[in-house]
Amino acid sequence: MSDCIFCQIVDGDIPSRTVYEDDAVLAFLDANPLSPGHTLVIPKAHHERLNDLPAGAAGEVMAAVHALTPAVEAAVDAPATTVAFNNGEAAGQEVPHVHAHIVPRFEDDGGRP
C-alpha cells in the first residue's frame, strides 16, 4: 500500500466522498472542510508539487477544477469560491500529492481560508 494518503484514497484504501472521477482525476470532499462543500481535486497519479505534473496532467486537473467550481458553488448555494494550490511545505502543503482546493465562500465569512 502506498504511504501517500491521497494515493490510498485513489486506490479505495481510505474512504472518501467522491464528487467527480474520470481516468485521470479524482475530486472528493475535504475531511476537515473550511466551509461546507470544500472539495479537493487531485491527479490520480502521484506527483508531489504542481510543476512535477506533466503539462497534460496539469491541464486535466485544471479542466476538472474549471468544470467543478460552479457545480460546487451551486451545491452549497455559495456566491463565490477560493480556488488554491498550497504548493510546497512552506506554503502550507501538508499532503505531498498535488491538489487543488475549491473552498466555497460566503458574504462575511471571516476572511481568507
**Catalytic residue list:** 99
Contact 44, 25 (CB under 8 A): yes
Question: Binding Zn ion by CB under 5 A: which of 4, 45, 62, 84?
Answer: 4
Asked if 28 touches ligand 5GP (CB under 6 A), the answer is yes
Give the nearest distance from C-beta 56 to ligand 5GP in angstroms. 23
Instruction: Round to whole Å and give the CA distance between 88 and 96.
Output: 8
Question: Binding ligand 5GP by CB under 6 A: which of 53, 73, 83, 86?
Answer: 86
Q: How, if at all, do strands 39-43 and 100-105 pair?
A: antiparallel
- Span interacting with Zn ion, options 7-15, 53-61, 76-84, 104-112, rule CB under 5 A: 7-15
Residue 7 binds which one of ligand 5GP, Zn ion, none, with CB within 5 to 8 A depending on kind? Zn ion
- Span interacting with Zn ion, options 6-14, 33-41, 66-74, 83-91, rule CB under 5 A: 6-14
In terms of phi and psi (left: phi > 0; alpha: psi -120 to 50; beta: otherwise), the region of 90 is: alpha
CA contacts within 13 A on the Cβ side of 3: 0
Instruction: Round to whole Å and give the CA distance between 41 and 39.
Output: 7
Asked if 56 touches ligand 5GP (CB under 6 A), the answer is no
